[in-house]
Structures are given as structure tokens and as C-alpha cells.
Amino acid sequence: MITILSGIVVGLALGLTGGGGSILALPILVYALGVAPAQAAVISLASVSAMAFTGAIEAVYKKIAEWRTALLMSIGGMLAAPVGNVIAVHLSDEFILNGFAILMIIVAASMGLRVFKTPAAMSVLRVNFTQVSHLQGSFCQFDDKATLRLAAPCSVALFIAGIFTGLLSSIFGVGGGFLIVPALMYVTRMDIQRAVATSLLIITVIGISSVCVALIQGRELDLDITALFIGGGIFGMGVGRLLAARIPVLSLQKIFGLAVLLLGILSLLFNG
């Protein structure tokens, strides 16, 4: 029962925040379920990928995901996944847990800065699905038909972002949505709604490839825990998406950022 409840918590966070819930999976598996960090990373990847896949189906159906962008970042992530898994094998459990705790604190601080410095940008999470930003991004831009132009600088930037995400995903066992969404918004200036939808596709592809590489390299995957965790996660994600329509976006971002920050600090203290 505790495994299902843990999955529900991760799925609920994923459904509420649209891509940040995966960061909770690893610490919950390790501290609540007592799974070894190396194995927890693989279970986390498999579970989050399955949860993201359910959201990706909806995004594709509503035609709000930039599939070409997702493809570029996914290729970079898939190429980086074997490297990340090789690195993870040679890292101690203590290093993985402490490194992930520091990553959580950095992500929480970044979320806090975005929420308090640019509240207008964060509040567009529930705008109409067809709305697309026509602003020029740092490397990319949209044309008059709201189609992203994948020129050389744009393609290279997305590919590099995919490599970075793939490395972190395979090392720490996270889907990477909390990294992919801000990366997409920075590189392309697409609205957060479309960035979240596109990230679900990327999380699914990178996550599945990372799990496959991990299994090929001999890392273990507990199917019983994974199945229960996924079942709870899919249910939690559905509930989260329903609740998200009733809770102010800025409140969600603040609550989630604070939860991630506290969890990161507690993890560092506990490991120390």
C-alpha cells in the first residue's frame, strides 16, 4: 500500500505542476520505501516515463506538442543516456544522494526566482492550448504561422539541452521535466503550456531509452515495486490534472518549490 501511495504523491505532483513531480520520485523511493539509490534511479525512470506517456498522449491528441523539437532533444538525450549510466555505476550511493539533494535545492531556487521575478510568465499555464508566443527566443523563433523555425543555432541549442537532460536523467533517475520546461522556454520562448506538453514527449523517450541502457548494463529493476509505483502514479497524475484547473498556478509553483527546497535540505542533513 505504501508503494501505491508513494506513486500517487509523485503522480499528483507531476499532474499539478506539469513536469516537476519526477524530482520527488528518487528521494521517496529511497527514504520512504528503502530502495537502494542505484536501483531507485532505474525504478524512478521507468515510473516517470510511464506517467509522462499518459500526458504525452493527450498533448499529441490536442496538437500542442512541438514534436520536431521533442525529437531533437530526445536524440541528444538518448545519446547521452549510456554515458550517464556508465558514470552512475562508478558513483557511490552517498554521492548520488548528496548530488541529487543539491540539484533539488538549485531547482527550487530557480523556480522561486522565476515565480517572484516573472509572475506574468508563470501565470500563462492555463491559457488556450492554441496560443503560441511569437517572441524571438535566445536561439529560435516562430514564423507567421506559429511554427517553430529549426535553423542551425536553434537545432544545436536544443540538441545540447537534450544531452544535458539525458545525462542528469540517467545518473539521478529523474524524468527531467523540471529542466526541460525552462530550457525550452529559454531557447525558444514558447509559452509554458506548449513547453510542458513537449517536455512530456521528451521525458517519455529519454526515460525509456535510459531504462533500456541501464538494464543492458546490468542494473536491476524490481518489477513489483515499479508496477505498483506506476499504478499509483497514473492515478495521482489524473487527480492532479483535475485539481490543477482549480488552483492558482503561482500558488502551485510556490508550494512545489518550497517542498522541493525542504526535501533537498533534509536529504543533505540526513546524508550528512
* Residue 56, pLDDT score: 82
* Residue 228, pLDDT score: 94
* Residue 163, pLDDT score: 92
Q: Which of 232, 191, 218, 259 is nearest to 48 (CA)?
A: 232
Cβ partners under 8 Å of residue 141, min gap 6: 135, 148, 149, 154, 189
* Residue 4, pLDDT score: 93
Cell of 132: 503560441
Q: Where are the domains of the chain?
A: 2-271
In this structure, what are the phi and psi dihedrals at residue 114, rounded to the nearest 5 degrees? -65, -40
- Is the whole model's pTM more than 0.85, yes or no? no
- Contact criterion met (CB below 8 Å) for 253 and 122: yes
- Contact criterion met (CB below 8 Å) for 175 and 237: no
* Residue 225, pLDDT score: 92
The per-residue pLDDT string of the chain (272 residues; one tens digit each, 9 = 90 and over) reads 889 999 998 888 777 766 566 677 888 888 889 898 888 888 988 888 888 888 788 777 877 788 888 888 899 988 988 888 888 888 888 888 888 888 878 877 876 776 666 555 554 444 333 444 444 556 777 666 666 777 788 888 889 988 988 888 788 777 667 678 777 877 877 766 677 778 888 888 888 888 888 888 888 888 999 999 999 998 988 887 777 667 766 676 677 677 778 877 887 887 75
